[in-house]
Amino acid sequence: MNDTDLLNGRRFVMISSTASAVDADAPTEFAYEESGGVIWGHYTGDTVIHGRFVGTRDADRIELSYVHLLKTGERASGRSTSRIETAEDGRLRLVEEFQFEGDDATHISVCAEVPS
């Protein structure tokens, strides 16, 4: 996976997370932009009103920082490392290990690409 704009314009939805239950009817949706291995984007849904992320991608590995506003009015931020996988149907999956700022626990989430 060396396409420098591999994630540009792709959308993903969270399908599982060890940090919280995922609302299957309104999962968090992520919109990715990428140029030359630099990644940025936004997300919303489930418990998140609005979130932003920025980072880098090297081959099938993503490293990024994120911050979001929750429906409770609280903010959360942290860092993550994701592995890009290709599903049998050709769509991408992101398997992410993440930590919230101020919390030593490592959580895992899985996001599936939304067909365009």
Stretch among 3-7, 88-92, 100-104 having the lowest mean pLDDT: 3-7
The CA-based dihedral angle spanning residues 112, 109, 97, 72, taken in that order and rounded to the nearest 10 degrees: 120
The answer to whether 114 and 11 are in contact (CB under 8 A) is: yes
pLDDT, residue 4, reads 79
- Cα 82 from chain centroid? 8
Tens digit of each residue's pLDDT (9 = 90 or more) over 33-55 = 999 999 999 999 999 999 999 99
The answer to whether 66 and 52 are in contact (CB under 8 A) is: yes
**Is the CA virtual torsion 47, 17, 99, 87 positive or negative?**
negative
| pLDDT over 70, % of the chain | 98
Tens digit of each residue's pLDDT (9 = 90 or more) over 69-97 = 999 999 999 999 999 999 999 999 999 99
